[in-house]
């Protein structure tokens, strides 16, 4: 079937690539019995896609039951989905069929599936894998033939890492993923939706439809729309009811978009670390190294000045310089041979040590010190990463990643 006909049938407005792709995938997967996971931000219109899948499937004559998992209390969610036996809990005066029993040979749409408790996730996984379930308070398994379509507006992978969502259930639900693009990525669809909503509200409230001035239209296109289509619909309704002037100017529209910023500043890029625990450990090592290094540098400075005060010869100065080079491959400028010779002469000619004293500002960059530590560890172990990683107290994988990152 043509995508435009599907849009007309289900009231979907827009022509963006992401939207058309989502509709096409929904239509292509509808004849199968594969589980589908629909992802997208809140307010993007995810609820239309399970209806597309159900109505173009062989189950279209069976029941279609949408379930908002976030709206059902944890204590009753199992009873709602799988039913219960009489007397299984307080208030269970009669036996009751659950949604999976009622929707046999049909489709169940689990919206906000991430809100399911872990115990319910185990029950759901059993239904998906074997088609069997148990009523609450019963030990007799029952069979059901139901297609499951799930939707969520949160990152399930992150919930898996936090042990709030089962990984096996995620892969079972995500057999076919459908991604709904946010409104801010749909370009000209924003204005098309505004016109549709403006016309609908004009008919509902029996008043002329509103329209946008040129500047207001630019604002509409540039706005981020964190609430997506739902937010656009609400604002259009407010404008239709409240504003007497049917042509909405930029100044008027801005009043309904309090968080609108005309200039989109570049976002600060926050680098994601692969292993937060590893990072915390490495950071502690670096801090300890910096404090230890500061003390060592102060001791070395004191040693050099004592050598100068005693009028040491060049060989002794070179030995001191060698000690410092072992500490740091790039010795501080205040202890190179030319400076020390010059200072020794100045010391003999002038007793004022303050004229010859030199202070070097130390680099406190964690990145620089991390690079320095890695190079030293590699040099110490002749480039063997395994032993260098052990020396640094990090994993070999982390060391390899940092070598690539810093181009060492």
Sorted by where each starts, the structural domains of the chain and their CATH numbers stand as 3-86+96-181 (3.40.50.300), 184-255 (1.10.8.60), 276-406 (no CATH)
Helix (H), strand (E) at residue 300: helix 276-309
pLDDT given for residue 371 in this prediction = 86
pLDDT given for residue 69 in this prediction = 94
Other C-beta atoms closer than 10 Å to the C-beta of 347 total 17
Residue 177 to residue 48: CA distance in whole angstroms: 15
pLDDT given for residue 259 in this prediction = 77
Provide the whole-model pTM. 0.63
Residue 381 to residue 402: CA distance in whole angstroms: 17
Pairing of strands 247-248, 107-111: unpaired
Q: How far is CA 48 from CA 111, 117, 228, 282, 340, in A?
A: 12, 25, 15, 48, 79
pLDDT given for residue 331 in this prediction = 46
For residue 255, what is the DSSP state?
H
Pairing of strands 211-212, 132-133: unpaired
Q: Phi, psi (5° rounding) for residue 393?
A: 80, 25
Helix axes 396-406, 366-380, angle to 10 degrees: 120
Question: Longest C-alpha distance within the chain, in Å?
Answer: 107
Instruction: Order the strands of the 64-68 sheet from edge to edge.
Output: 64-68, 107-111, 147-152, 36-39, 176-179
Evaluate the CA torsion angle 49, 55, 58, 64 in order and state its sign.
positive
Mean pLDDT by 10 residues, the chain (408 residues): 90 94 96 95 95 96 95 91 87 88 96 95 94 91 95 95 95 95 95 96 94 94 94 96 94 88 52 47 62 70 68 58 54 46 45 46 69 86 83 80 80
Other C-beta atoms closer than 10 Å to the C-beta of 265 total 6
Task: Give the helix ranges, DSSP H, for 30-117.
Answer: 48-55, 74-82, 99-102
In sequence order, which residues have a C-beta less than 8 Å from that of residue 321 and are 6 or more positions away? 331, 335, 336, 337, 340
Residue 241 to residue 249: CA distance in whole angstroms: 15
Evaluate the CA torsion angle 120, 126, 127, 132 in order and state its sign.
negative
Q: How far is CA 349 from CA 16, 170, 172, in A?
A: 82, 80, 85
Residue linked to tokens 């969520």: 152
Question: Which of 122, 200, 130 lies closest to 166, judged by CA?
Answer: 122
Residue 298 to residue 289: CA distance in whole angstroms: 14
Residue 196 to residue 211: CA distance in whole angstroms: 11
């Amino acid at each position: 079937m043509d995508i435009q006909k599907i849009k007309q049938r289900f009231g979907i407005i827009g022509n963006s690539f992401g939207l058309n792709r989502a509709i096409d995938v929904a239509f292509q997967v509808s004849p199968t019995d594969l589980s589908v996971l629909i992802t997208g931000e809140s307010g993007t219109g995810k609820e239309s896609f399970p209806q597309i899948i159900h109505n173009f499937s062989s189950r279209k004559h069976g029941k279609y039951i949408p379930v908002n998992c976030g709206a059902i209390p944890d204590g009753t969610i199992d009873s709602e989905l799988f039913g219960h036996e009489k007397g299984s809990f307080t208030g269970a005066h009669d036996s009751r069929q659950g949604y999976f029993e009622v929707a046999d040979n049909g489709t169940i749409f689990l919206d906000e599936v991430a809100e399911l408790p872990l115990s319910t996730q185990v029950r759901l996984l059993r239904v998906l894998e074997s088609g069997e379930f148990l009523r609450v308070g019963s030990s007799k398994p029952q069979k059901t033939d139901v297609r499951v379509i799930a939707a969520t507006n949160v990152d399930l992978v992150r919930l898996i890492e936090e042990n709030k969502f089962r990984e096996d259930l995620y892969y079972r639900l995500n057999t076919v993923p459908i991604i709904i693009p946010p409104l801010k990525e749909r370009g000209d669809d924003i204005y098309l939706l505004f016109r549709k909503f403006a016309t609908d509200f004009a008919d509902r409230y029996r008043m002329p439809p509103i329209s946008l001035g040129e500047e207001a239209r630019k604002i509409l296109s540039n706005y981020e729309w964190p609430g997506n289509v739902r937010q656009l619909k609400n604002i259009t309704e407010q404008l239709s009811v409240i504003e007497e002037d049917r042509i909405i100017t930029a100044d008027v529209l801005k009043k309904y978009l309090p968080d609108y910023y005309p200039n989109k500043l570049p976002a600060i890029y926050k680098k994601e670390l692969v292993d937060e625990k590893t990072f915390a450990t490495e950071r502690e090592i670096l801090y300890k190294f910096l404090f230890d290094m500061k003390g060592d540098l102060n001791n070395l400075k004191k040693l050099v000045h004592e050598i100068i005060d005693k009028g040491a010869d060049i060989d002794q100065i070179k030995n001191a310089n060698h000690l410092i080079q072992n500490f740091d491959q790039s010795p501080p400028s205040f202890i190179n041979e030319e400076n020390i010779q010059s200072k020794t002469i100045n010391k003999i000619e002038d007793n004022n040590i303050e004229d010859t004293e030199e202070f070097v500002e130390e680099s406190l960059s964690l990145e620089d010190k991390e690079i320095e530590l890695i190079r030293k560890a590699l040099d110490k172990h002749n480039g063997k990463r395994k032993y260098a990683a052990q020396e640094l107290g990090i994993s070999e994988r982390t060391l390899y990643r940092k070598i690539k990152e810093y181009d060492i």
